A and B are shown apart, each in its own frame.
Chain A
Amino acid sequence: MMNRSKSADAMLPLTPAVFHILLALSDGERHGYAIMREVGAHTNGALQLGPGTLYGCLKRMLAARLVEEADERPDPELDDERRRYYRITDFGARTLRAEAERLAVAVSAARAKRLFGRKVGFAGAKR
């Protein structure tokens, strides 16, 4: 936490789409459709990225140097050579970690208020 650069913190909070794209790329290079499937799997289908959202985010993430295009293809024999692969940068990884920590703090706060596993009601609400 201490050695995190200021610029990673400056990127926070990330949008859900950017967070999940970084998460999908955190364990290896992927092309666009693989990212889309990975995000769908991570979120149990709750976040379905369309091509416009996916490439709009990737464009911004490339500009912010959170991700970069991979020069080498994981397996050119097995894949369509027209696809571009993306990988997370060091800065992207730091930003992802910072966002995950931020979300973990929020989840801890919610857990402390016992919001999980019961119906949520407001203290001042009429019953």
Chain B
Amino acid sequence: MLSPFHQRLLRSLCRLYGVMLRAYPLDFRREYSREMMLVFQSHLRDVVENSGGWALLPLSLNILGDWLVTVWSQGDDMETIRKALVAAVRDICCITVGASCFVVAAYTLFGRDPNTLRSLSLRLAFEQTPVSMFVAQGIVTLLAVSGAVSAVGMDVVAVLGALKG
């Protein structure tokens, strides 16, 4: 017979596992999630009854590893997940470049210190004339805008592709 503390702990872990099961593909979940939960409950109960509450720690790590591996490898959604990850990394890169350029451009155009741009490496490439500064600021602004536009554009393309697929 489990103590009230262990019963509460098992209930909490089962609720958590129920949330984790949602990461599996829908058809797999429909078919097996109920049984997986039964297996999980039985396993936890056996471990606590035979080895005590501390034995839940290695078991939980084992279950977590099993979950990570099988969520990744299960079903036909694997290719979709890979594509989504690639798209996310690409978008993050674009947005980072765009945002960085935007910050530099905004700061040089509207910042308190008008010499900010002169302190950057551009100082080596340009003579510090009003025209060269204008051109440099224009390039930075252009980069910022193009980074943001490309990121948004690729997101739109990805969404349209997903809708079409």
Interface residues of A (CB under 8 A from B): 31-33, 36, 48-56, 58-59, 80, 82-84
Q: Are A52 and B34 in contact (CB under 8 A)?
A: no
Tell me, rounded to whole Å, the shortest Cβ–Cβ distance linking B94 to chain A.
35
Kindly state the separation between the CA atoms of A80 and B32 in the bound complex, as whole angstroms: 16
* Contact yes or no, B35 A83, CB < 8 A: yes
Residues of B in contact (CB 8 Å), total: 22
Q: Which residues of B contact A48 (CB under 8 A)?
A: 62
Give the A-B contact count at a CB cut-off of 8 A.
57
Query: When the two chains form their complex, are residues A52 and B35 in contact, meaning their CB atoms are under 8 A apart?
Result: no
> Interface digits, B18-43 against A, CB 8 Å rule (1 contact, 0 not)?
00000010001001101110111011
Question: Given A48-B62, A59-B28, are A54 and B39 also a contact pair (CB < 8 Å)?
Answer: yes
Q: How far is the CA of A54 from the CA of B36 in the complex (A)?
A: 9
- Chain A residues with CB under 8 A of B67: 50, 52
Taking CB atoms and an 8 Å cut-off, the chain B residues in 66-113 that contact chain A are 66-67, 69-71, 73-74
Q: Are B38 and A52 in contact (CB under 8 A)?
A: no
Residue from A31, A50, A80 having most chain B Cβ neighbours under 10 A: A50
Secondary structure of the A contact surface, majority rule:
helix
Known: A50-B63, A52-B66, A59-B31. A33 touches B43 (CB 8 A): yes
Interface core residue of B42, B67, B69 (most chain A CB under 10 Å): B42
Most buried by B among A49, A52, A56: A52
**Are A32 and B39 within 8 A (Cβ)?**
yes
A25 → chain B closest CB, angstroms: 15
- Sampled A-B contacts (14; CB under 8 Å): A31-B35, A48-B62, A50-B63, A50-B66, A51-B63, A52-B24, A53-B70, A55-B35, A56-B28, A56-B70, A56-B74, A59-B28, A83-B35, A83-B38
Which partner residue on chain A sits nearest B58 by CB separation?
A: A48
Across the interface, name the chain B residue whose C-beta is closest to A52: B70
Residue of A nearest to B35 (CB): A32
Please, which residues of chain B bring their CB within 8 A of the CB of A31? 35
A36 / chain B contacts, CB cutoff of 8 Å: 39, 43
B32, A59: Cβ atoms under 8 Å? Answer: yes
